[in-house]
Chain A
Amino acid sequence: MTVKIITDSTSDITNEITPELGITVVPLTVIFGHETFLDRVTITTDEFYHRLIYGAVWPTTTQPTPKAFADVYDNLATETEEILVITLSAKLSGTYQSAVSAKSLATKPCRVEVIDAQKVAMGLGLIVISAAKAAQNGATLDELVTLVQGAITRSHLIAYFDTLKYLAKGGRIGKAQGMLGSLLSIKPILTVKDGEVHPLTRVRSLSAGMDYIYNFVASFPQIESVAVEHTTIGDEANKLVECLSSLCPKENIYQSPVSPVIGTHSGPGALAITVLEAEKT
Chain B
Amino acid sequence: MKSVESLNGQDLRGMMATATSWLEKSAANIDALNVFPVPDGDTGTNMLLTMRSSVEEAYRAPDSSAAAVSQAIAKGALMGARGNSGVILSQIWSGLAQGLKGKESFTAVDLTEALQQAATAAYKGIGNPVEGTILTVIKDAATAAQGQMENGRGSLISVMEIVADAASESVANTPKLLPILRESGVVDAGGQGLYTILEGALHHLRGEAEQIQFRKPQMITSNLPQSTRVPQMTAVEEVPYGYCTEFMLKGEKFTTDEIRAKLKKKGQSLIVVGDATTARIHIHTIDPGNIIRYATSLGTIHQVSVRNMDEQYQDFLEMQKERAPAVDIATVAVVAGEGLTDVFTSLGVAAIVPGGQTMNPSTKEILQAVKSVASEKIFILPNNKNVILTAQQIQSLTDKRIEVVLTETIPQGIAALLAFGYEADFETNAQLMGEAKSRVRTIEITHATRSARIASLNIKKNQVIGLLDGELLMAGNEPLHVLNKMLAELNLKSMEIITIYYGADTSADEAEWVSAGIREQHPRLQIEVVRGDQPHSNYIVSIEA
Segment 416-432 of B: residues with Cβ below 8 Å from A: 418-423, 432
B496 within 8 A of A: yes
B526 within 8 A of A: yes
B293 within 8 A of A: no
B298 within 8 A of A: no
- Across the interface, A178 reaches (CB within 8 A) one of B223, B226, B432, B528, namely B226
Given contacts A178-B325, A181-B346, contact A62 B214 (CB under 8 A): yes
Of chain B, the residue at the smallest CB distance from A165 is B223
Residues of A within 8 A of B496 (CB): 204-205, 207-208
B499 within 8 A of A: yes
A87 within 8 A of B: no
B545 to A175, Cβ gap below 8 A? no
| Interface 0/1 of A187-209, CB less than 8 Å to B | 00001010000111111110110
- Give, as a whole number of angstroms, the nearest-CB distance from B217 to chain A: 9
Given contacts A168-B223, A180-B223, A201-B420, contact A94 B545 (CB under 8 A): no
A198 to B214, Cβ gap below 8 A? no
Given contacts A62-B215, A198-B423, contact A205 B545 (CB under 8 A): yes
Interface size class of B (residues with CB under 8 A): 35 or more
* C-alpha spacing A249/B496, complex, angstroms: 30
* C-alpha spacing A98/B211, complex, angstroms: 12
| Interface 0/1 of B203-247, CB less than 8 Å to A | 000000001001110111111111000000000000000000000
Of chain B, the residue at the smallest CB distance from A182 is B346
B221 to A177, Cβ gap below 8 A? yes
- Give, as a whole number of angstroms, the nearest-CB distance from B60 to chain A: 34
- Give, as a whole number of angstroms, the nearest-CB distance from B457 to chain A: 32
User: Is the contact region of chain A dominated by helix, strand, or loop, or is it mixed?
Assistant: mixed
A184 to B214, Cβ gap below 8 A? no
Residues of B within 8 A of A63 (CB): 214-215
- Give, as a whole number of angstroms, the nearest-CB distance from B180 to chain A: 17
Of chain B, the residue at the smallest CB distance from A33 is B161
Residues of B within 8 A of A179 (CB): 348
A183 to B211, Cβ gap below 8 A? no
A223 within 8 A of B: no
Count of A-B contacts with CB under 8 A? 95
Of chain A, the residue at the smallest CB distance from B344 is A183
B419 to A185, Cβ gap below 8 A? no
* C-alpha spacing A186/B348, complex, angstroms: 13
Given contacts A199-B422, A201-B420, A207-B496, contact A183 B214 (CB under 8 A): no
| Interface 0/1 of B411-452, CB less than 8 Å to A | 000100011111100000000100000000000000000000
Residues of B within 8 A of A199 (CB): 422
Residues of A within 8 A of B211 (CB): 62
- Across the interface, A200 reaches (CB within 8 A) one of B185, B224, B423, namely B423
Given contacts A185-B528, A204-B497, A205-B497, contact A178 B216 (CB under 8 A): no
A171 to B226, Cβ gap below 8 A? no
B528 to A98, Cβ gap below 8 A? no
A184 to B528, Cβ gap below 8 A? yes
B216 to A207, Cβ gap below 8 A? no
B214 to A97, Cβ gap below 8 A? yes
A-B contacts, 13 listed (Cβ < 8 Å): A168-B223, A170-B218, A175-B325, A178-B325, A180-B222, A183-B342, A184-B528, A186-B418, A193-B423, A200-B421, A202-B420, A205-B545, A208-B544
Per CB-CB distance, the 7 closest pairs between chain A and chain B, nearest first, are A181-B225, A171-B218, A199-B422, A183-B346, A205-B496, A202-B418, A183-B343
- A residues engaging B (CB < 8 A)? 62-63, 65-66, 94, 97-98, 165, 168, 170-171, 173, 175, 177-186, 191, 193, 198-205, 207-208
